[in-house]
Chain A
């Protein structure tokens, strides 16, 4: 566990070295599981986000119940993973101007899927276990003080999750610059502009409704 926390710290403090040392040798499958744990775990661990997702699913599709909430989370993660697995290498290869033969698509996929490593480590080692303990304690009203302690602990540790999440972008940015020689403009194009253009039909279709939903929710 200490080793994993050291690894977490390395990803935060020296993302370039972490990239060099680990990403090329770790299996891609680990990355995909890390990606799912990181984003899925983050969605599930927060009651607030579950409430928003639940309201969102019912407001947009008229579906209600925990089953649909979890299906929605799963569908989101799967679509996100599939887009990043299949489409991202296509953009990056074209932006970098590399030939198919010389372009290492799997290396790029590893960068994408291993980038939330720091995030996943802090979730798995600290936040999710604490959250599980507090969930169990909540079943026993007599343990309310202990429950409160665990809830506070989850809250405190979750602040660090914000740092780890920012690190996801840092690792991807450094990885794209280091292994694919992209400059800042090209990285912004690959990471933000192209995905935004691809999402444009969805934004046009659901954008105003989504804004209404958020206004309603935030009010």
Chain B
């Protein structure tokens, strides 16, 4: 039994290392590892890199002012706030430059009726867009999470629920313009 246990231990060490490498491969940046849950669920994830000239929110106060929300970390936007408006609001910060793979991205969204967009603006110049299925996040309404402002002054996370429709509002398409898609 000791020998079998020894084999199991060696196998275990190898497995743990392999899994760490594989999860590292899925998450070779901070942003990716935070989106790991969605990857775990077998979803697609695309990392978007914003062009250098795009305008970024630089502090929590500015976001609060712009969005007219209160609190200090997570806020639900007024439930009756229509999604595209929210997306446009984000788009205002991002809408510069050309978008190479937007059409590809939107096709992939449209082919998955259960998908919702989760965007995470985590660092100064990077944005993660994660497609997650219904139920992966606990609320399908539009949300703005502005959390961990101390660590990530640029953290902006928007979730939109387009359940039941294949149509992506044109305003969202517009809002996403200017983002370079990087896989």
Contact = CB atoms under 8 A, between A and B. Distances in A.
Interface of A: 3-4, 7, 22, 25-27, 30, 33-34, 36-37, 40-41, 44-45, 47-48, 50-51, 54-55, 58-59, 62, 64-66, 69-70, 120-121, 123-125, 128-129, 131-132, 134-136, 138-139, 141, 144, 147-148, 151, 216, 219
Nearest to B9: A33
Given A4-B4, A59-B148, 7 more contacts: A33-B13, A40-B16, A55-B34, A58-B148, A70-B24, A134-B42, A148-B42
A66 B27 contact: yes
B123 to A, nearest CB: 8
B37 A51 contact: yes
Contact of A30 (B9, B15, B16): B9
B73 A132 contact: no
Given A54-B33, A55-B148, A34 B9 contact: yes
A116 to B, nearest CB: 12
5 contacts: A30-B9, A40-B16, A48-B40, A65-B33, A136-B22
Contact of A132 (B19, B24, B44, B74): B19
**Chain A binding surface, main DSSP class:** helix
B42 A30 contact: no
A37 B12 CA distance: 6
Given A51-B37, A65-B29, A65-B30, A58 B15 contact: no
List the 8 shortest-distance A-B pairs measured between CB atoms, nearest first. A47-B40, A64-B30, A37-B12, A128-B15, A124-B12, A135-B22, A62-B151, A65-B30
B33 A44 contact: no
B8 to A, nearest CB: 5
A151 B136 CA distance: 14
Contact of B151 (A45, A64, A136): A64
Interface of B: 1-2, 4-6, 8-9, 11-13, 15-16, 18-20, 22-30, 33-34, 36-37, 39-42, 44, 73-74, 147-148, 150-152
Given A58-B151, A62-B151, A138-B42, A51 B5 contact: no
Given A4-B8, A40-B16, A66 B42 contact: no
A134 B18 CA distance: 12
B2 A120 contact: no
A118 to B, nearest CB: 12
A64 B26 CA distance: 15
Contacts of B37: 47-48, 51
A58 B19 contact: no
Given A54-B33, A62-B150, A65-B29, A121 B8 contact: yes
B125 to A, nearest CB: 14
Nearest to A34: B9
A22 B1 contact: yes
Contacts of A216: 73-74, 147
A124 B27 contact: no
Nearest to A50: B36
Contacts of A33: 9, 12-13
A34 B40 CA distance: 25
Contacts of B30: 54, 58, 64-66
